[in-house]
Structure 1
Amino acid sequence: MKDHPANSPPSKDRPLAYRFGPFVLHGGERVLRREDGQIVALRPKAFETLLALVEKSGHVLSKDELMERIWPETFVEESGLARNISVLRKALGEGYIETMPKRGYRFAALVEVIEPKDETAFEEGTAEEGELALRAKTAAELTDLAVEAKATERSVVPSESAPLLASVRVIASQRKLLLIIVCSLVGALLVAVLFAKWKDGSQPRGALTGAALRSVAVLPFQTSGELGDDPAFPIGLADALVIRLNGIRRLVIRPTGANLERARKAQDAAEIGQSLGVQAVLTGKIQRVEDRLRVATQLLDVESGEIIWAEKFDLKLGDPFAMQDRVTEEVVRALALAFAEEEHVRLFRRTTLNPEAQKEYSLGLYLWSRRSEEGVRQAVEHFERAIVADPDYVLARVGLADCYAVLADFGYMDVHQGFSRARDEALQAIALDPEFGPAYTTLAFVKHRYDWDWAGAEDDFRRAIALAPNYDVAHYWYGLYLITVGRLDEARAELDRAAELNPLSLAIVTNAGLPDLYARQYDQAIARFRRALELDPNYHLAHLRLWEAYETLGQHDQAIEELRECLGGAGRRDAANKIVAYYRTMGYEAAIKRWLAEDPWRLAYANASTYARIGERDLALQSLSQSLTRRESRLVYVLQSPDFDWLRSDPKFQQIIGEIETLRRKE
């Protein structure tokens, strides 16, 4: 036995072993033992991490060096390396591996190199132990080999005959074209891998199998280089992938946009997956390198932290649709028997042939995801440009319909104009694609909120869910419809399903408590509303709902606090301070009455509800009549709302309800 520096190169013929503390690391056997012969179980990648550190003991290894050695030619987030370090520290104990801030890791213990001829001195143990160790090692290596086999580098070169789209902003246009390219490739590759696993069940033991995989979240891809300053690019790509992958009925694909931007605060992809309640997370990195685009993707098992598959490929800039065809054809040939025919058609059908339309749609989708008045108005402009570029672009028409419906519903534009435009766009989308569920969702919303054709609305909601069972908005809007017709148990089930599909949607999580509020089960409603505050303590709608509940219960201190938080969360700090000052000087009812006189809600229906809750009959009925004159969409709630319980026998209230019923029959 001789002393050697631990970072001396091992023999190629007979790998070395290393002794440190009570451990012996066998490089050739890939086994870590204690001096008493007991085997320390380590997964292959954790072992490779330890071996790399020990070989360079006393020296700092950067994270990049470690990741390149452990996962060559494969994209893996730093959290994978951090998990390996954590596993090793638990196995070895403290003091062996040091973290060097902003640099990497160093193996700190004294290491002795054992010559090959002396290795047998540490290979004792029973035959049973050796067989078990070999089985464990083989199973673990198969897991890593399965990952590495999926991670081979591929280069896809499109036809050079199609030039890049020319526009005034060339760089911006190229970025959006890249989105189309990457979306097509990653979507096709992910579909291929998922269905291949369903088909042959080739997953290693202990890993998440294709047959068991039921839910995936697509995170906004990380970008670098000149792509890094474009926020629409990664979110638009993720949303486009969600739309594509939602064609797999057996999978629940979590929505993206602003919801996942909030989730990304968690840093670790597995933690994000846990918060979203999914089994796997799709992540990726995109880097522009001269005239090529380098894309690395991986699908991560949330529970185990293991990589289910990974892909890394380079692209040349060119015709994105020629490239989509090439990749799609390969996938179709490989998986021809894995699809139902209608599923196959929807997964690989182009939604548009026009790159300018795709670019404008992606921008519209990004702005829509912000859910602000300004964002929705800007989204309208981009969806309209997409339709000008391609009048048959179904996704753009549904996006435009949703924008107009929401603007009208919130009182941001004329009710008649907004809902009429929403209906027209939804009907045109259905004419183009009679099997597209989201188009029926928007049409049902218009029939419910504006046409007051409730039977027709229910038919379209049901058809939308049948066509797109994992579309969260369909379940959400259908649940709200069911509240207005008094079917609260069904409403609760639909809203819970919507929250299950999109657990980070603040609006969905908040309004999932409305069935309890309308059932007059106020304590349960309050508990449900507070769940949204666990996601965002400043979310104004959750505080608004809590204010309504506490006000109805007559708990004025809690009510005024929630109203203050609601106004503050909506950016109305001056109004929040004013209402608190009024409450302190004149009491609750007088404070609310004065505040509404000075600064009423945009919707007359909201004013009517507030006046009703503080017992102001005349002002409540006056505002309700105004809401009817305006044909406000929120009037659909008046038949079931607890706010008006004490007014239901009032002749004036009954007259207003009669007018609503008359209008419904005319429609």
Structure 2
Amino acid sequence: MSSIAVLPLENASSDPSDSDYLADGITQSVIMRLAQVGLRLTPWESVRRFKGSKVEPRDVARELNVDAVLLGTFQIAEERILTRLTLVEADSGIIVWAEEFEESYQDLFRMQRRIAEGAATSLKRSLSGEEEKALATPESTSVEAYDLYMQGSYLLHQEGRESTAVSLDYFTRAVELDPELVEAHVGIGAVYGTRYHFGWGSGPSSLERAASSYRRALALDPGSMSARRGLLLLSFFKGESEAVLEQGRLAAQSGRADDVETLLTRAQSLHYGGFTELSLEPYRRVIQNSD
């Protein structure tokens, strides 16, 4: 099995509204970790529509064109996090791995690592030293910073003017605690880019702030495709087609050729760069690999 869809965790907490962001954040972390060990992962943008739905794993696997589906529940109470995970093989419907994890909130990164290791080992049977190292690398040096990032991301995805404004505060506080938290810098860039796009900000200065945040993210992680897509979109807003295409070329150099995030970045660079026909092939490959 080489491809997997990680579905949004079902929040079974007594007050889900207070911790929904954390359930989504853990799901996204597991997706990002598993993508680093040579597995083909369905992006969060494609699986989040299943949030809150009762689904049959085999049906989801067929729809998303994957070999396996990971699903489960999340619960937090008195600073303890409990997750129950099940990995289902698409063809047979057989449960190939199931486990329960309980950790303190401060050991969130340990829980995310254990989940990713369990799923990866079940899918690949064995992991190289480099793959084990990738799975063990925490998202941040600070649980508090990562929590702020997750809250900001949750609000940003609500796509409202007020929620977008509030998300900026969370992202900013996150990078104050951990200046090297790449995704928080991407989040800041996305906020300012969104403000410019919808006319909620201060015009060109929003573009400059967005670009600065995306460039900071890429300085920390040249392989950040979300930052590259952010920059190419800003270049499109400014009518700079060559700069749009350059981000696609850089994505091809720094990412895996069959990686969905890399393919999407290349497709968007060709599309927004004025080569719509050439963008169709990478778009088709994105659809084949993630939808």
Q: Which amino acid aligns with 2:211?
A: R
Which has the higher mean CA deviation after the structures are superposed, 387-396 or 254-263? 254-263
| Matching residue within 276, 280, 288 for 1:492 | 280
Instruction: Mark the CA change 1:473 to 1:320 in structure 2 (over 3 Å): closer, same or farther.
Output: same
Q: Which amino acid aligns with 2:222?
A: P
Q: Deviations over 1:490-538 (max 9, x none)?
A: 11112223334443xxxxxxxxxxxxxxxxxxxxxxxxxxxxxxxxxxx
Q: Which amino acid aligns with 2:244?
A: A
Q: 1:264: how far off?
A: 4.8
| Matching residue within 118, 124, 127 for 1:338 | 127
Q: 1:425: how far off?
A: 0.7
| Matching residue within 28, 31, 52 for 1:239 | 28
Q: Does 1:457 align with 2:244?
A: yes
Instruction: Mark the CA change 1:479 to 1:321 in structure 2 (over 3 Å): closer, same or farther.
Output: closer
What TM-score do you get using the length of structure 1 for normalisation?
0.38
Instruction: Mark the CA change 1:400 to 1:390 in structure 2 (over 3 Å): closer, same or farther.
Output: same
Q: Does 1:279 align with 2:98?
A: no
| Matching residue within 320, 323, 347 for 2:135 | 347
Q: Does 1:224 align with 2:23?
A: no
Instruction: Mark the CA change 1:407 to 1:346 in structure 2 (over 3 Å): closer, same or farther.
Output: farther
Q: Deviations over 1:42-95 (max 9, x none)?
A: xxxxxxxxxxxxxxxxxxxxxxxxxxxxxxxxxxxxxxxxxxxxxxxxxxxxxx
Q: Which amino acid aligns with 1:441?
A: R
Provide the residue aligned with 1:554 in structure 2.
Answer: none
What TM-score do you get using the length of structure 2 for normalisation?
0.80
Q: 1:302: how far off?
A: 2.2
Q: Does 1:386 align with 2:171?
A: no
Q: Does 1:483 align with 2:271?
A: yes
Q: 1:297: how far off?
A: 0.9
Q: Deviations over 1:154-191 (max 9, x none)?
A: xxxxxxxxxxxxxxxxxxxxxxxxxxxxxxxxxxxxxx
Instruction: Mark the CA change 1:473 to 1:253 in structure 2 (over 3 Å): closer, same or farther.
Output: closer
Q: 1:228: how far off?
A: 3.0
Structure of higher RCO (CA pairs closer than 8 Å, 6+ residues apart): 2
CA distance in 2, matches of 1:377, 1:258: 25
CA distance in 1, matches of 2:201, 2:87: 43
CA distance in 2, matches of 1:379, 1:444: 22
| Matching residue within 248, 255, 261 for 2:43 | 255
Q: Does 1:446 align with 2:234?
A: yes
Q: Which amino acid aligns with 1:252?
A: R
Other structure's SS at 1:226 match:
coil
CA distance in 1, matches of 2:26, 2:194: 24
Q: 1:474: how far off?
A: 5.1
Q: Which amino acid aligns with 2:53?
A: K
Provide the residue aligned with 1:622 in structure 2.
Answer: none
Q: Does 1:421 align with 2:209?
A: yes
Q: Which amino acid aligns with 1:385?
A: R
Which has the higher mean CA deviation after the structures are superposed, 354-363 or 440-449? 440-449
Instruction: Mark the CA change 1:307 to 1:411 in structure 2 (over 3 Å): closer, same or farther.
Output: same
Other structure's SS at 1:265 match:
coil
Provide the residue aligned with 1:396 in structure 2.
Answer: 184
Q: Which amino acid aligns with 1:464?
A: A
Q: 1:404: how far off?
A: 2.0
Other structure's SS at 1:247 match:
helix
Contact 1:440/1:460 (<8 A) preserved:
yes
Contact 1:214/1:251 (<8 A) preserved:
yes
Instruction: Mark the CA change 1:314 to 1:500 in structure 2 (over 3 Å): closer, same or farther.
Output: same
Provide the residue aligned with 1:312 in structure 2.
Answer: 100
CA distance in 2, matches of 1:480, 1:326: 32
Instruction: Mark the CA change 1:294 to 1:392 in structure 2 (over 3 Å): closer, same or farther.
Output: closer
Other structure's SS at 1:246 match:
helix
Contact 2:229/2:247 (<8 A) preserved:
yes
CA distance in 2, matches of 1:472, 1:325: 22
Contact 1:394/1:433 (<8 A) preserved:
yes
Q: Which structure 1 segments of 5+ residues have no match?
A: 1-212, 504-667
Give the RMSD, CA atoms, in angstroms: 3.3
Q: Does 1:270 align with 2:50?
A: no
Instruction: Mark the CA change 1:305 to 1:295 in structure 2 (over 3 Å): closer, same or farther.
Output: same
Provide the residue aligned with 1:467 in structure 2.
Answer: 254
Contact 2:101/2:111 (<8 A) preserved:
no
Q: Percent identical across equivalent pairs?
A: 23
Q: Which amino acid aligns with 2:29?
A: A
Other structure's SS at 1:443 match:
helix
CA distance in 2, matches of 1:246, 1:313: 21
Instruction: Mark the CA change 1:502 to 1:377 in structure 2 (over 3 Å): closer, same or farther.
Output: farther
Provide the residue aligned with 1:94 in structure 2.
Answer: none
Q: 1:397: how far off?
A: 0.5
Contact 1:216/1:281 (<8 A) preserved:
yes
Contact 1:246/1:253 (<8 A) preserved:
yes
Larger radius of gyration: 1
Q: Deviations over 1:440-498 (max 9, x none)?
A: 3323333343261x334323223224434466565445434423554333111122233
Other structure's SS at 2:83 match:
strand
Q: Which amino acid aligns with 2:26?
A: L
Provide the residue aligned with 1:79 in structure 2.
Answer: none
CA distance in 1, matches of 2:259, 2:205: 27
